[in-house]
Amino acid sequence: MSLCINPRCPQPDHVNNSTNQFCQACGSDLVLLGRYRVMRLLSDKSGFGKVYEAYERSTPKILKVLKESLNTNSKAVQLFEKEAAVLIQLKHISIPKVDPDGYFLYYPKNGTEPLRCLLMEKIDGPNLKQWMQQQGNHPISEKQAINWLHQLTTVLHLVHQKNYFHRDIKPDNIMLRPTGQLVLVDFGAAREITQTYLEHLGSAAGVTALSSAGYTPPEQEHGQAVPQSDFYALGRTIIYLLTAKFPTDRGIYDSLKNTFNWRVYATELSPEFADLIDQMIAPSACDRPKDTQEILDNLAEIANHPSNIAAPASRNLPTAPLTEMPPATFQDTRGKHTSLQLNQSTLQSTPAKPKRPSKLILGLGGLILIAAGVGAYTAWSQYQQTMRQASAPSLASLNAKTQDVSLIKTLSGHANAINDFVLSADGNTLISASGDKTIRLWDLSTAEEIGVLQGSKSFINVLTLSFDGQTVVSGGADGVIKIWSLETRQEIQSWVAHPSAVNALAMSPDGKYLFSGAADGGVKVWTLGADEELIVLAGHPSAINALAVNHDGQTLFSGGADKTIKQWNIQTGEELQTFNGHTSYVNALLISRDGQFLLSASADQTIKKWDLATGEAVHSFTGHSAFVNALDISEDGQFLRSSSADKTIRVWDFKTGDPLQTYTGFESYVGKFILWGNGKIITSNTEGNRIEIWQASSSSLGPY
């Protein structure tokens, strides 16, 4: 595949484009700057233009193309050129790399206007908003928050030293590399700190106001942003990560009283760290830290007293050192792709703004938040609070017996979070998928790694095993599905299945059909081994988290972030019914052994049992004190098992819903789990990138 970016091309994906230098439909050049081919369209929803994936041999790049109609819009052109100027000058692992000729003009065949293009490094990973959704939208710990705040402040240190400030820091504009390194993106709103700009602050004349609800400080809402405005936005971003609540959520922002009450949802923080965050989000810019060095000094002081830091991190992610390279210059290459000579005055250093004294804010009272509204994830507002309501346990919790598990084996080898794992057909091999882009095979009897499946270019989110046990199918964060041979340990087939991350996979009982669900809400039906979808099931407005196929192979169930479950006719694609009742994300689906009931696990801390004949919820299993992640049912159909972020696995009487057993002692929240051998439980440790095998009482787990 090779795409033409000419906006007037009648067939930009002409079948013969891949073997030619010029588009076979319109004659435009297909090889940009003499070395890049555009392979696929990533997004055309942006207001400024289109985003493509381009390749220089095997190296992927992001190509941004400004709308041709915006060429006469001086402000749009200025913002587009500004992003190029900033990215070319700033060299840091936490900033997308742009080569000196990365900003250029492209002239379509017989076109009257050139296209403005920007080629930059492709960051292989989700943004932090997407990452939170993928991880179940649970709050991060203080340790991880300190790590990430240090990374982001370090890169802001470079940005501010170059006399720029970002003006649009928010979770959507922070991406996560597979290594754990954060990357600050979207510098289109960046502003240079010049004396002319500072003089404008008195009247705001000629100063553009840019706003992202909940993250934009009061002074920026009025078009008077200053470097300390970045600290406010960064502080609000850290609060979102610590509470899993958007700044505009009613649970955290009271629009009647105009108060911002975030600490009640992050009560395990050390006072020193919470005070630093409060100082960063002070309503007045002069009350925030005076510069990035002050924030870094405070973080160093907090880190030097580790006993004050609460709760371990979900993952230990590295902090990259500050590295700065000499600024690059624009070059004029002439010809059809001209590297633009931008206004060099924007790249010249000016004296830094005089520092103003700061005042430490010890409380939250009187915070002013301009934008208000209802967030999409209100169910998560209860997470940390319910985790600490030990004084009011549910009746189900009181009735269940409790037993500690003991760790007996550890499987270490993945370099990033383990997102999924499945058991081989013979029960001797575990197959795991990770954010390190690998699939690893483990001999469970020896706890040793026996193979690695490599070739994925992004996070691997989900796995499913073929019914003959010969192949495993993977779904990635780049929307790619791959089929692997377990015998040869080689990739058999690969195709781009979705424009967003693949979150769920399932297979029909006869092994003929593959089903995939993605972060954009799309569900697709494939003939196994074919890379063209048979049916697209459209109905969910947001991310799909779980799929389940009925035993008769006729219907498919899908559930996700919209809190609903939908039943589909596999042959026709018709939506048969919608199950409503959960108040938060649906995380897992399971069909009962007799095929009469559907089980659903949710972030609302409940499991629901649905009668498939009537579509009604006949029972709700309650007792978990945090979101429920995975489900399993015993071979005889009598026992239901569930795992949760409350660090427990529970066993229930499937018929009555009575709690029978609660297993505790797990070191981190329990996502997916597998029962193996005589009372053994396999889980993944979210803090250590490892798989753990625990010993429990087999009698109370029920038959496998």
Is residue 204 pLDDT above 50, yes or no? no
| DSSP string for residues in 44-65 | S-SSSEEEEEEEETTEEEEEEE
Q: What is the mean pLDDT of residues 502-514?
A: 92
Same fold across 17-122 and 128-311: no
Q: Which token pair is 353? A: 């703004």
Please give the pLDDT value at position 327.
Answer: 31
Class of CATH domain 399-701: mainly beta
Count of positions (residues) in the chain: 704
- Alpha-carbon distances of 638 from 13, 60, 676, 680, rounded to whole Å: 54, 51, 18, 19
The token duo for 201 is: 């602050």
Amino acid at 203: S
Report pLDDT for 701.
61
Q: Where are the beta strands (DSSP E) in 299-456?
A: 337-339, 401-404, 406-412, 418-423, 429-434, 439-443, 448-453
Reported for 468-475, long-range contacts at CB under 8 A and 24+ positions apart, including other chains, are 468/425, 468/511, 469/424, 469/425, 469/426, 472/422, 472/431, 472/439, 473/505, 473/507, 473/514, 474/433, 474/439, 474/505, 475/501, 475/502, 475/503, 475/504, 475/505, 475/516
Query: Residue 44 — very low, low, confident or very high, per pLDDT cuts 50/70/90?
Result: confident
Alpha helix locations (H) across 337-456? 383-387, 395-399
**Would you state the pLDDT for residue 335?**
35
Q: Is residue 133 a contact partner of residue 95, using CB atoms and an 8 Å limit?
A: no
Buried b (16+ CB within 10 A) or exposed e, 181-208: bbbbbbbbbbbbbbeebeeeeeeeeebe
pLDDT of 452 > 90? The answer is yes
pLDDT of residue 533: 83
What pLDDT, on a 0 to 100 scale, did the predictor assign at position 689? 82
Sheet holding 616-621, edge to edge: 586-591, 597-602, 607-611, 616-621
| Residue 354 burial (CB count, 10 A) | 7
Element (H, E) at 358: none
Higher pLDDT, 204 or 133: 133
pLDDT tens-digit profile of 435-450? 889 999 999 999 999 9
What pLDDT, on the 0 to 100 scale, is given for residue 203?
Answer: 37
∠ Cα 165 133 238 (to 5°): 35
DSSP per position, 188-249: GG-EE--HHHHHHTTTTTT------TTTS-HHHHTT---HHHHHHHHHHHHHHHHHS--TT-
pLDDT for the residue numbered 232? 92
pLDDT value, residue 304 = 75
> Tell me, what's the pLDDT at 119?
92
Q: If pLDDT is split at 50, 70 and 90, which confidence band does 166 have?
A: confident
Given phi > 0 = left and psi -120 to 50 = alpha, else beta, which region is 528?
A: beta
Q: How many CB atoms lie within 10 A of CB 695?
A: 15
Find out whether 604 and 627 touch, Cβ atoms under 8 Å.
yes
**DSSP label of 352:** P
Place of tokens 């499945």: 422
Structure confidence at residue 400 (pLDDT)? 56
- Please tell me which residue, 635 or 221, carries the higher pLDDT value: 635
CA–CA separation, 633 and 426 (whole Å) = 19
The one-character DSSP state at 326 is: P
Superfamily in which the 17-122 domain is placed by CATH: Phosphorylase Kinase; domain 1 (3.30.200.20)
Q: Is the pLDDT of residue 326 over 50?
A: no
Reduced to 3 states (helix: H, G, I; strand: E, B; else coil), residue 69 is helix
Query: Helix (H, G, I), strand (E, B), or coil: what is residue 390?
Result: coil
Q: In the chain, pLDDT over 90 holds for what percent of residues?
A: 43
Cα–Cα distance measured from residue 249 to residue 643, given in angstroms and rounded to the nearest whole number: 28
The β-bridge partners of 491 are 484
Q: Is pLDDT above 50 for 475?
A: yes
Sheet of 502-507: strand order equals 502-507, 513-518, 523-527, 533-537
Band of residue 650 on the pLDDT scale cut at 50, 70, 90: very high
3-state secondary structure of 681: strand
Average pLDDT, integer, range 54-74: 86
Contact between 374 and 245 under an 8 Å Cβ cutoff? The reply is no
| Average pLDDT over all residues of the chain | 80
pLDDT (0 to 100) of residue 117: 93
What average pLDDT score do residues 212-234 get? 80
338-378 pLDDT tens trace: 544 444 333 333 333 333 333 333 233 332 222 322 232 22
Convert 105-121 to b/e letters by CB count within 10 Å (16 or more is b). Answer: ebbbbeeeebbbbbbbb
Q: Worst-scoring range by mean pLDDT, 130-144, 322-336, 476-490, 535-549? A: 322-336
Task: Please tell me the predicted confidence (pLDDT) of residue 429.
Answer: 95
- pLDDT category of residue 306 using cuts at 50, 70 and 90: low
Helix H or strand E segment including 186: none
The pLDDT of residue 310: 52
Parse the chain into domains and list their residue ranges. 17-122, 128-311, 399-701
Is 219:229 a contact under the CB 8 Å cutoff?
Answer: yes
Query: Is 490 within 8 Å of 484 (Cβ atoms)?
Result: yes
Lowest mean per-residue pLDDT among 394-408, 502-516, 627-641: 394-408
User: Is pLDDT larger for residue 3 or for residue 95?
Assistant: 3
- C-beta separation of 606 from 648 below 8 A: no
- Band of residue 47 on the pLDDT scale cut at 50, 70, 90: low
C-beta neighbour count of 215 within 10 angstroms = 26
Quick one: average pLDDT of 129-155? 88
pLDDT of residue 364: 30
The tokens for 194 are 């010049």
pLDDT at 29: 94
- Under CATH, what is the fold of the domain 128-311? Transferase(Phosphotransferase); domain 1 (1.10.510)
pTM of the complete model: 0.54
Is 324 a residue whose pLDDT tops 60? no
Task: Give the tens place of pLDDT for each residue, 250-262.
Answer: 888 877 777 888 9
The answer to whether 141 and 310 are in contact (CB under 8 A) is: yes
What pLDDT, in 10s, does the model give residues 226-239? 788 899 999 999 99
Statement: residue 174 has pLDDT above 80: yes
